[in-house]
Structure formats: structure tokens, C-alpha cells
Structure 1
Amino acid sequence: MGRPARWGVAVLALGVTVTALAGCSKNTGEHGGTTPRPKISGGIATDPADSRGPAPAVAGARKGGTIDLLQASDYGHLDPQRTYSIREFAIEQEFARPLTSFRQGPAGKITLVGDLATTPGTDVHHDCTTWRFTLKNGLKYADGSTITAADVAYGVARSFASFEADGPHYIQQWLANSPDYNAKYHGPYDGGAPVPPGVTVSGQTLTFTFAKPHCDLPFAASMGTTVPVPKAKDTKQKYDLAPFSSGPYRIAGYAKGSKLTLVRNRYWDPATDPIRHAYPDRLVVKMGLTDELQANQEIADSGDAQYSISQNSVPQQLLSKVTGDVAARSTKGLTSFVQYLAINTQRVRDLQVRKAMEYAINRAGLVQVVGGPLRGTPTTTMLSPATIGYHQYDAYPAGPNGDPAKARKLLHGKHPKLVYGYENNAEGQKQATVVKAAFEKAGFRISLSPIDAATFYSSQQRRDNPWDFYLANWAADWPSGSTVLPPLFDGRGLQPQGNSDTSYLNDPAVNKQIDRIGALPFAQAAPEWGKLDQQIVTDTAAAVPAYDSNFVGVNGSRVGGVVLSKVLATPVFTDVYVKGS
């Protein structure tokens, strides 16, 4: 999701509503500089009525018109089984429906509900090894044909194919009971079965059976892996260009790198859909516009720009213009992305040196570089406040600008030489300057090493990379600590390349806690992830939390219903409409 691909090892038991902390924070200058944050609730729907449609009407919304969605580049993929970025997920919601989806309430409440399915799933034996989903009546594709459970199973089957490897792997790994999920079953091609091992279909009911408990399957089922694909419509790699619509819109035209046009699927029945509306006649994605150009068009608000939405956050140099009328039509808020300094523990082995690095960081300086409080909030935790299980703590109280005196005390007169790898673009260069100044003030000697922006994250993921620390970021695949802490700090799966654990931590105490919490019921696991967050930073100092990312987007004056998704950390379009004259 705008970040390295990830994997999951969590085991959660669902069925309750929990409370997390989220919202804006104010820098107080004490203990990392955050104040208590407003609470939001989140969980899984237990009442089948929550999964029924139609979605509640949006006040003032009307049908008709065209809305343009502006973005800098094309999508990596539109094939739902291959999508794995926040912008792909956002547009996918309009033409593809998985078994489950998140519904976001007006107060930010996040509820997992059945999308194609009548409920978010049934734990058949109450041990999370067997999950059953039954499809709703009245589900239609864009040609009027019925969406079937067999089509969902076929969608899951094709996700095992090697050309689908860019998508999430949760369900495939759980079905295969192995990270090497397609070693034996390669998908429905070349004689492969149209239903993958571990999945059975009976009428409109689909059953998943696992060798081990996987209580977070309802969450994983919200990803593109479970989007239905009729076998007769499968064009393999070419499916990326024209996926078959199961949502309220269908693809009417796609010119790669230029434009994607969606028009209504007239067979979509809102009575089956608790998430989406289809107010505009058309949604047109226009590509190739820089974030600066997008923002300037929206701020000017003339002509077609009045009917458009910028999908990129307003760049730093234009944030001062987001005032008055522009502010009134902006979309602002906390995302689930956390920026942090990953310390390469293979190279920086001295715990006291890493703890000194915790005190050296200048969080306020890093936030200022990206645009100030509108774009970031200093944090001392690895879990975002938008994540269920969030726990506020400050293991190394250093204030917003760092505490170089405490850092120097831990170094005992030493001046460690560290290499900081930074993204070689304008923002990365400014951040590198802040890091170097703060760490040298704390007694370190810092060498700056530029990393090509195109390979910045993949370079970090090489186990033999030559840097001591670098700025990294992460966001949960769904709002739980289970999709943050295990991928970032469980070192048992480290490989030569492609690692999410770019701190290269492999600590037996941390691994033990990951296994323990992963086996707990959800109500018990959620706060335990927060405690483990604190344990990891306090005991290992393998990462230095820096700031929570905020989004600031602007849309035209004739657009309503733009919502910043707390799950996807980007604007979504399920409620958008063209305002009347």
C-alpha cells in the first residue's frame, strides 16, 4: 500500500467491538510531545443486518454527472488478485467486490461487514480452522449474469498463479500451510483445479479449511484475493486491462498511463451492498499530473477542476494556500502510515548505541520538512493511533527536538560512525540534513549515502545492504497490530532480499511474544500488540518511531462526499457525488 509488500503470521479471534485511539495530536514539548487522542471504535459486525444494503444515503447527494480523479501515475495493476497499493484498492472498490469489506461510520467507527457474503464469516468449529461464507441473493456482474461462490473460489485459485505474486499472500499461505504457497498448486491453469486445495463450494456457500487456526480470515477476505472471477472471462495476464465488474461501476475504457473511465453497472443492486453508492454517471481517472499541478488546479477551482478530486496529498510548498474556501473543500486527517528510522541491527550491534539513537532523533525537524503539523505528527510508537491495539508510550523521553545530552551520556565519550541511507529526492535530501545535524549534535559522526528513489525500499530490503539506518514507513493491511509488528520484527523469515524486517531484528524474546499474542482471542490480543510495541522499542531499540503521516487533499467545489479511509489511508469514492447548482 504505497509501501513494501507484506506478509502476516497473526492469529486473531473476532466477534467483539474494541476501542482504539486515533485523531489529531498536539505537541506539548513533553515526553515526545503528544496529547491524549480522541477514541474511535472498530471491530467486526456480529449482526447480519449490518451486512445488508443499501448503504445509508449521503445527505445532499444526487445522481448524475462526471467526477474526475486526478493522479500522478498509472496503477500498477487493476486485476484484483494482483492489486496491493492504497490507490489500487480505492478504485477497485468501485468495480470489484470481495467477500467482506470495511464500513466507516461518520464518527470514524470502522466495522468489518459482509460484502458479497451475508456476514463477515462463520467460524464453524469455533477454533478458527474452518470458515464459511454464503453469498447474498441478487448479486450480478455487469452483463447481468449471477455472481457465484464458484467464481469466488476461482478468484482465490488464480491468486496462486506466479503472475499474481504482486498481490497479498495471506489466504494462499494459510491454505497451503506454508510461505511457499504455490509450490504444489499453481492455480487453475495448465490442468490445475478451478478450486484450490482447502476450499470447497456447495451452491452459494464457500468454505475455507486450514491446518492451523487463522482467526483473522474475515479481515484477509476483504482484500482482492476473494473478488469473484468467472472462468470464462479470465484472460490471465491480460485481465489487468479489463477486469470483469462485480461492483457498481464497470470499466468502459482504459488507456494505460493516460485515462481510466468507469460507468455504471446497471445490474448492480444497492440492496445487496452496505458500502457503496453510485451517484455519478462516470468516474474518470486522469493520469500524468504531478501533485503540484493537481493541487494548483484544485486551488484555482475553475472549469473541469470544479468536478475533480486530487488523489495526491498537497505538496509542502502549497500547504499555505489550503485556507478559507480551499480548506472547506479539503480532505484532511491521520493515516495509518508510521514513518520511523529502521536501525540495521546487523551493523549497529551495540544496544547502548541504538538507545542513544532513540534520544538523538529530531522529530519536529522531520515533520517540518514534510510540511509541518498538517502533514505529520511526532510519535513515539510503532503502531499508528489508527490501529486497533494502539498503546501510547514514550520509551525514551526526548521532547520533539531530541535530547542530545542523554544520547551523549549513553555513548560515554564515544563518537560512533554511522551511514545514513536516504531517498535521493528533494524531500529525502532535506530529511537527511535534519538527521545528520541532530545525530552529530548528539555525538555521532554521520555519513550520508543517497539511494535512488526508484529502488529506495527494495534496497533496504536487501539483507546485505550497506547502511546503518534509514527512514522507513509502514501501514497495517487492516487495522490491527498483527499486520505491523510481526512483519516488521519477526526475524525468523529473513531472506537475502525482499525483507519487511529492515531492522533485521531476530530477537527470541520478541518472536516468543509474537507467537503468544498470535494465539490469543481478539479481545485479549489487541492490547497485547500495543504492549509488544513498547517492549520492542524499549528492549531492542531496533527502530526509532518518527511521525504519523497525515493526508491533506483538495477537491473541486462541485464535488461532495469525499472520505479519507482510515483503513486505506487515502480518499475513497463510495460516497462521492456532483453537487447541484
Structure 2
Amino acid sequence: MNPSARRGGTLRFVRTDDFDSLDPADTYYAYTWNFIRLFGRPLVGCTTGEDGGPRLVPDLAEALGEVRDGGRTWTYRIREGVRFEDGTPVTAHDVRYAVLRAAFPEHVYGRPAARGGPAYFRQYLAGPAGVQAPDDRTVVFRLNEPFAAFDRIASLPATIAVPRGCDTFPDYRLHPVSSGPYRIALYAPGEALELERNEYWRADTDPVRTALPDRITVRLGVSGPEVDRLLLDGLADIDLAGVGVQPETQARLLADPGLRSGVDNPRTGFVWLYCINQHIGPLANVHARRAVQLATDKAAMLAAYGGEHAGEIATSLLPPSMAGHVPFDRYPVGPDGTGDVAAARRELELAGLPEGFATRIAARTDRRKEWNAAVALAEGLARVGIRADLVPFGSGDYFTKAVGVPAYVREHGIGIVMFGWAADFPDGYGFLQQIADSRAIKETGNQNLGELACESIDALLDTGARTLDEKERADIWTAVDRAAMDEAVMCPYMFVKSVLFRGKRAANVTMSPVYGMYDYAVLSVVEEEAAG
């Protein structure tokens, strides 16, 4: 939308809170992964294919992985001509170090270090020796078992090169060294970020980024309504979060033909769900967890996000766009979506809790729609005697210091966590593994928030990871979805559509099939911002 070849100008983002972390080893927010590509280049990139779906392309590497040993060994060659912001060449040794610091920080630093990113490399590499750089341009990954989709793992931020001499962990997040078209000029956490051009970037080495703007700014710590106002008044171009406008703004946009030209309403691949921790009080009983699912007023929770333009009621984990999605409804909440109170009460009887029980719901107050959905959830549960108190958090440390820390969750008796999820990479494994595999449970930055631990699910995930046949893989992801829902630790309530609003200056607007928001690697502006 709004195509333009114009070079120059300042692209202006705005956001309610901060990035979770700009350190590529320590990030898990989708908008951070989308944005971090502006200054960091992983081995493999992803663009939009002709069918509108994701298309893997070599990024820092000159080709996709060379596979040997039945999928146990993957080799990548680093492109020539890629340089860091200080002019030094990016080498295979920098990529090896980046992966080691992400996957095996105790090996790098001599001590454990909390990491908030996914654990795929730690899980699949054959220990620290599983990543080698035999020369300046070759990176070799040796896996402890075959993995058919390793190119997709090589596209994650953990393969963004990090020069060892510049690693200031834990402060590396404040100024990660650029290997992309932009470098960090200013970062004031919670307030502002500014990117300027990396003079050593060469367009002929980069098939992913267009790098048309001269500068990119991010205004942080702005309230949700203020974000919308800045977009509407032309003082910002893009909401960094990419999850849509406030409900009251949405109503205004959809009612005004003049404003609708700046509105996009795509399916995103995201699923809003909540997780039920099976180690918290009565929720250890599967019938208590099933009672929660059946009593959920999904219609009210959908309304909290803005109704039909915000999405549709979900009944399974895998979204409709994902291979392996098969419609089924393990916990039907009635034709109107408001909950099956009678069925929930029967499950409470089976749990030995006919009068209900008390628990706590964690939600983020700076994500107003999520908070309102949590209120709607609590009200729905109250109808069957489940008394759920809301516990407020901010987004910045939600996973790294609170709900993603199992010890914290247990200490504070948080039985239910509000959550949103999309695939780490566009594959059923990328969607399911981190939230359903017992081996993905981490001490911090945990995403398996229900602490689901089921050997049969783990085995299915392992089988799917090795399976090259796409139809067989899809059938396995369907089986994982059904098995996970039977355990009742996750309740998907909404397949997400976003009501996004872009400023009039935004050009080359394309939806990312990976991140479910605008593709930040190709955005530009058509004119300079108005004076003042």
C-alpha cells in the first residue's frame, strides 16, 4: 500500500511501553523481533512470497543451510561485504559467539545468565561444541537430533552477529552493535529510541531491507489513547506494538469514511489465550481447569478487544492460517459464546469443589484491551463460584520478572495468566513447542505458562520436528493441539485480527506474514514531517 521509491525522511513509531530487550539473545516480543531487524541481520530472513505467505531467504548468510547427516548438520556461509557499524567485517566467529551467548551463557560468561529468548538452540545443539566457525565465513551447526526446519531457527534473533569485544552483558541491550542498515543513535529506556544510518551497510548485500528512511524514531511510554491521537493527528506514522487501536478509536475509524483509508484489518496469526498453571491450588485438578474453560465468557472477552473487527472466537490453539489447524471445540461455551455454566458446575463437582474456589489472574494494565478481557474473564468465572482477583503488571518485565518466572507465579499464587501467542517461525512446531513442551519450561522468560509436562506431547513434538513430509507434519501438529487442549492448561479465546491505523506519510506498507503486523524492514515515508 502507498508504494514509493523515495529515499529520505524520518519514520516515526510510537509505543505505550518499552521493548522487552534490544539484546538479540534476550527478546521474545514480536514487535521487538520485527523492529530489531533494522539494525541486526540473522543468518536467514523472511519476506512475503507471491502467495502472501512467508518466504525464507538468506540474509546474513549467502544461501540457506546446506544439510548433511540426515538433518543433523547445517552449514551456512557468511556473505562478503557485511560490516558492523564501526566498519569491521562480520565474521562467522561473531555469529558463533552470538549463538553461544544466547544458548549457553554459562559457557561464555562462566556463570548462569537469565535469557528471555526462546531455547531452541540450547535444546537442539550438541552442547557448546555444536556450533563451530572453522573459518571466517563458515558457521556449522551440529544437532543432537535431526531437525527439518532448522533454517527457520536460523532466522531467529539469536543468530544476529555479536562481536565478543563489544559484549557488555547485561547492558548490551542498551546499544547492540549494528550489522544492518541502521545503528542506534540514542536509547533512553522507557522514553525514546533513535536510529541513524549505518554508513557501512550495502544494499547489494541485503535482500530483506530497503532502508529508505534516513532516520527512524520511537517514542516510548505513551498511553494507548495518546498513541492513537498521535497517529490521527499526523504526529506519528506507526504504532510499534502492531496489535491495533483502542476500542473507542476503532469505533471512530470504522464510522468515518475519510479515516477508513488508513485502516487495515488483517488476520495476524496471533491467538489471545490465557494459561492455567496446574501447580496453583485447586487448579492442580484437571476438572477444576476444565470448569474454568467452560465458564469462560469468550464473547465478552472478544468484545473487550473490539468485537468482530478484532477477531473471532477461538476454540483451538493453532490459528486458521497455520498448517495443522483443524476446527474442533474441546470446551464448547454455547452458541452465543458466553460460557456453559451448567457444564462448568458439573466439572466443579467432579473436582470436589461444588462451591467453587479462589484464584488470581495476571494481566497487563498498559494493554488496556487485555486488562478489560481479564475483567470479563473474572466476571464469567464468578457465575460458577470461581473468585478470581486481578493482579496488575506492566509489559516491560511481565515475562522476565513475573509471570514468566515459575517460582514467582507459585509464590504469589497466580493461577491464570493472560497471554498472547504467535509462531516463533511459521510452522506448527514454531507455534506449539515453546508453549507445550515440558523441556521449554525456563526459570525466567518462560512461555510454557501452564507448565504443561506431558511425555506424549513431547514425543509428538519430537516426531514432528524430524518429519520432512509436510502433510505428515501437519497431522502431527493437529494431534499436539488436541492433546494440549485435553490437559486444559491453555484456553484460546480469540483468533486475532488487528484494526491498525497508519499515518498518511507511511509508505510501502506491507503486512508481515511472520509477525502479523506491518513489515518494518520495508516501511518508508512519502514526505517530511510537518514543521514543529
TM-score class, shorter-chain normalisation, is 0.7 to 0.9
Other structure's SS at 1:155 match:
helix
Other structure's SS at 1:284 match:
strand
Q: Does 1:452 align with 2:392?
A: yes
Q: Does 1:228 align with 2:165?
A: no
Q: Does 1:295 align with 2:224?
A: no
1:535 to 483, 498, 512: 483
Other structure's SS at 1:572 match:
coil
Q: Does 1:547 align with 2:494?
A: yes
Task: Indicate the residue corresponding to 2:341 in structure 1.
Answer: 404
Cα contact 1:102–1:111 (8 A) shared by 2: yes
Q: Does 1:63 align with 2:2?
A: no
Separation in 2 of the partners of 1:65 and 1:175? 43
Separation in 2 of the partners of 1:260 and 1:250? 11
Q: Which moved more, 1:491-500 or 1:110-119?
A: 491-500
Cα contact 1:67–1:284 (8 A) shared by 2: yes
Change (3 A) 1:234 1:449: closer
Separation in 2 of the partners of 1:66 and 1:496? 40
Cα contact 1:342–1:543 (8 A) shared by 2: yes
Change (3 A) 1:309 1:508: closer
Letter of the 2:339 partner, please give it. G
Q: Does 1:560 align with 2:507?
A: yes
Separation in 2 of the partners of 1:379 and 1:87? 23
Q: Does 1:309 align with 2:238?
A: yes
Change (3 A) 1:427 1:332: closer
Task: Indicate the residue corresponding to 2:190 in structure 1.
Answer: 257
Q: Does 1:417 align with 2:365?
A: no
Change (3 A) 1:476 1:419: farther
Q: Which moved more, 1:485-494 or 1:245-254?
A: 485-494
Q: Which moved more, 1:165-174 or 1:59-68?
A: 165-174
> Matches of residues 137-286 of structure 1 in structure 2 within 5 Å?
137-159=80-102, 160-161=104-105, 162-163=112-113, 165-177=115-127, 198-286=131-219
Q: Does 1:526 align with 2:474?
A: yes
Task: Indicate the residue corresponding to 1:319 in structure 2.
Answer: 250
Letter of the 2:5 partner, please give it. A
Q: Which moved more, 1:144-153 or 1:493-502?
A: 493-502
Q: Which moved more, 1:323-332 or 1:241-250?
A: 323-332
Q: Which moved more, 1:308-317 or 1:502-511?
A: 502-511
Separation in 2 of the partners of 1:169 and 1:421? 28
Q: Cα offset for 1:133? A: 0.4
Separation in 2 of the partners of 1:164 and 1:495? 9
Q: Does 1:379 align with 2:330?
A: no
> Matches of residues 484-495 of structure 1 in structure 2 within 5 Å?
484-491=431-438
Q: Cα offset for 1:470? A: 4.6
Q: Which runs of 5+ in 2 are unaligned?
A: 106-111
Cα contact 1:311–1:553 (8 A) shared by 2: no
Separation in 1 of the partners of 2:489 and 2:189? 41
Change (3 A) 1:94 1:499: closer
What's the Cα RMSD here?
A: 3.2
> Which whole-Å deviations, capped at 9, do the CAs of 1:72-112 have from their partners, x for residues lacking one?
23334323333332232222111111100111236531012
Q: Which runs of 5+ in 1 are unaligned?
A: 1-56, 178-184, 186-195
Task: Indicate the residue corresponding to 2:109 in structure 1.
Answer: none
Cα contact 1:332–1:564 (8 A) shared by 2: no
Cα contact 1:84–1:166 (8 A) shared by 2: yes
Q: Cα offset for 1:482? A: 1.7
Separation in 1 of the partners of 2:374 and 2:97? 47
Other structure's SS at 1:87 match:
helix
Q: Cα offset for 1:243? A: 2.5
Q: Cα offset for 1:396? A: 3.7
Q: Cα offset for 1:508? A: 4.1
Task: Give TM-score scaled by structure 1 length.
Answer: 0.77
Change (3 A) 1:216 1:402: same
Q: Cα offset for 1:382? A: 0.9
Cα contact 2:361–2:415 (8 A) shared by 1: no
Separation in 2 of the partners of 1:469 and 1:475? 19
Amino-acid identity (%): 27
Q: Cα offset for 1:522? A: 5.2
Q: Cα offset for 1:466? A: 3.1
Separation in 2 of the partners of 1:429 and 1:282? 34
> Which whole-Å deviations, capped at 9, do the CAs of 1:386-422 have from their partners, x for residues lacking one?
4343222223443222333444566679734133422
> Which whole-Å deviations, capped at 9, do the CAs of 1:277-319 have from their partners, x for residues lacking one?
0111111222232221110121133xxx2x6222243112221
Cα contact 1:481–1:526 (8 A) shared by 2: yes
Task: Give TM-score scaled by structure 2 length.
Answer: 0.83
Q: Cα offset for 1:276? A: 0.9
Separation in 2 of the partners of 1:389 and 1:519? 16
2:52 to 105, 108, 132: 108
Task: Indicate the residue corresponding to 1:574 in structure 2.
Answer: 521
Separation in 2 of the partners of 1:496 and 1:260? 30
Letter of the 2:474 partner, please give it. A
Change (3 A) 1:268 1:501: closer
Task: Indicate the residue corresponding to 1:135 in structure 2.
Answer: 78
Change (3 A) 1:278 1:407: same
Separation in 2 of the partners of 1:77 and 1:446? 36
Task: Indicate the residue corresponding to 1:5 in structure 2.
Answer: none
Q: Cα offset for 1:499? A: 5.0
Letter of the 1:139 partner, please give it. V
Letter of the 2:15 partner, please give it. Q
Q: Cα offset for 1:63? A: 1.0
Q: Cα offset for 1:141? A: 3.1
> Matches of residues 349-364 of structure 1 in structure 2 within 5 Å?
351-352=286-287, 354-364=289-299
Separation in 2 of the partners of 1:278 and 1:536? 42
Separation in 1 of the partners of 2:237 and 2:440? 44
Task: Indicate the residue corresponding to 2:108 in structure 1.
Answer: none
Cα contact 2:174–2:187 (8 A) shared by 1: yes
Change (3 A) 1:493 1:275: closer
Separation in 1 of the partners of 2:260 and 2:506? 14
Other structure's SS at 2:144 match:
coil
Q: Which moved more, 1:552-561 or 1:360-369?
A: 552-561
2:16 to 55, 62, 72: 72
